[in-house]
Amino acid sequence: MNKISKIGVLTGGGDCPGLNAVIRAITKKAISIYDIEVYGFLDGFKGLVNNNYIKLDLLRVSGIGHLGGTILGTTNRDNPFEFYSIKNGIEFKSDQSDQAIENMKKLGLDALIVIGGDGSLNIALKFYEKGVNIIGVPKTIDNDLMCTDVTFGFNTAVNTASDAIDKLHTTAESHHRVMILEVMGRYAGWIALHAGISGGADVILIPEIQYEAEYIINKIRSRYEKNKKFSIIVIAEGATGKNQDMAIQKVVDNSHDPIRLGGIGNRLAKEIEELTDIETRVTVLGHLQRGGSPVPYDRILSTRYGVAAVKSVVDQKYGNMVSLQGTEIVNIPITEAVKDIKRVEPNSHLVESARSLGISFGDR
Ligand code: F6P
């Protein structure tokens, strides 16, 4: 096997607690164990196209493991295969992947580690198919990537959402209100499900189970009859009522995942207030779930992913993503990981456990 001497790393898509811990682990292991130079591209794939990078050394990554965000910057807009530019005031898209590959060659990179979710890993796969030595690291607070038990960042998001439910409980109880907490979760309801169970929500609404307002109101009323004059509803941003569309806040054209969701909580609140006389208030947790320090679980998982990604480069297991399976970190082809989205299984033990406690999913 050829000796690896230089690698690149980038963070793509929405940021996520634990990104810095991955960058730190990659840099430390590469430099200290294998004497490999590490280059970090700035603002995701945009830095790869524009040849915008920094050299990472032990000093640069020292003390960043507990920090949220990413020292490399990120974007969910720039796809080198449909790269957005403006010339003479005219906006256009062009394939800049060859330019990106040229930049990597000039720098003498032997491999590129892409830390990203579904969108970024799809782009990484295209580069792999064009001959670039790619290793993926699974990132997203949504936990909706296939072929890994958990993505890093998810547990931190659940922690934040669960804490928010605890806080909403006390005010909901004092005011005898219905409190709706809208959490992230575009196509999968993992955050809503985990935070809802952990925080003791009365209703959990997720994209995988369509709800009907009538069932939710029945649940609220039955609590009222038992002198529980408040209810907590956790709703994923991608959840929908029966025969309803997703609540889209805006569409960002030059993004590889152009839909920005938001507003489902308010839509449901309106329905509840129209059908009952109970005041219903909405909290949209938004990007608070993505920011801040990673919880210890995510710091450890990120560290393991970073360390494993460097080993995969050294072993030349290109085209793979490091993944958590049980207690082990293994390599899984990126092609498998991006085939579909990992959704909550409506008949799973977790959903059934929630139902056993009386939590409603708004479907019966
Ligand atoms: O994919 C992660 C995620 O946080 C989704 O849950 C959410 O829909 C999306 O990113 C929001 O993206 P943005 O930061 O561009 O609003």
Q: Is 260 in the pocket of ligand 1 (CB under 6 A)?
A: yes
Angstrom CA distances, 122 to 204, 333, 344, 364, stand at 31, 12, 22, 37
- In tens digits, what is the pLDDT along the chain, a chain of 364 residues? 668 999 999 999 999 999 999 999 999 999 999 999 999 999 999 999 999 999 999 999 999 999 999 999 999 889 999 999 999 999 899 999 999 999 999 999 999 999 999 999 999 999 999 999 999 999 999 999 999 999 999 999 999 999 999 999 999 999 999 999 999 999 999 999 999 999 999 999 999 999 999 999 999 999 999 999 999 999 999 999 999 999 999 999 878 778 999 999 999 999 999 999 999 999 999 999 999 999 999 999 999 999 999 999 999 999 999 999 999 999 999 999 999 999 999 999 999 999 999 999 999 9
User: Which CATH number fits the domain 6-152+292-337, given the four candidates 3.40.50.2300, 2.30.38.10, 3.40.50.450, 3.40.50.300?
Assistant: 3.40.50.450
Topology match between the domains 6-152+292-337 and 156-291+345-356: yes
**Is residue 141 marked as binding?**
yes
Read off φ and ψ for residue 246, nearest 5 degrees.
Answer: -65, 150
* Ligand 1 center from residue 297 Cα (angstroms): 21
* In contact, 12 and 78? CB cutoff 8 Å: no
pTM of the predicted model as reported, rounded to 2 decimal places: 0.96
Residues pairing with 145 in the sheet: 341
* Ligand 1 center from residue 355 Cα (angstroms): 28
CATH number of 156-291+345-356: 3.40.50.460
Residue 222: CB atoms within 10 A of its CB come to 14
* Ligand 1 center from residue 14 Cα (angstroms): 6
Q: Is 219 in the pocket of ligand 1 (CB under 6 A)?
A: no
pLDDT reported for residue 60: 98
Q: Is 285 in the pocket of ligand 1 (CB under 6 A)?
A: no
CA atoms within 13 A on the CB side of 265: 25
Q: In one letter, which amino acid is 50?
A: N
Q: Which residue in 220, 239, 237, 217 sits closest to 229, CA to CA?
A: 220
**Is residue 304 marked as binding?**
no
Probe target for ligand 1 pocket from 121, 141, 184, with the most ligand atoms within 8 Å of CB: 184
Angstrom CA distances, 186 to 10, 68, 106, 261, 262, stand at 23, 21, 38, 7, 10
SS3 364: coil
Tokens standing for 271?
């329905």
**Is residue 185 marked as binding?**
yes
15, 110, 142, 144: which is the annotated catalytic residue? Answer: 142
Q: Is 140 in the pocket of ligand 1 (CB under 6 A)?
A: yes
Give the residue whose CA is nearest to atom 16 of ligand 1.
260
* In contact, 24 and 55? CB cutoff 8 Å: no
pLDDT reported for residue 165: 98
Distance separating alpha carbons of residues 248 and 250, to the nearest angstrom: 6
Instruction: Sketch the domain layout of the chain as residue ranges.
Output: 6-152+292-337, 156-291+345-356
Q: In one letter, which amino acid is 276?
A: T
pLDDT reported for residue 194: 98
Distance separating alpha carbons of residues 88 and 345, to the nearest angstrom: 50
Q: Is 343 in the pocket of ligand 1 (CB under 6 A)?
A: no
Tokens standing for 92?
């256009």
Q: Which residues contact 355 (CB under 8 A, 6 or more apart)?
A: 361
pLDDT reported for residue 1: 60
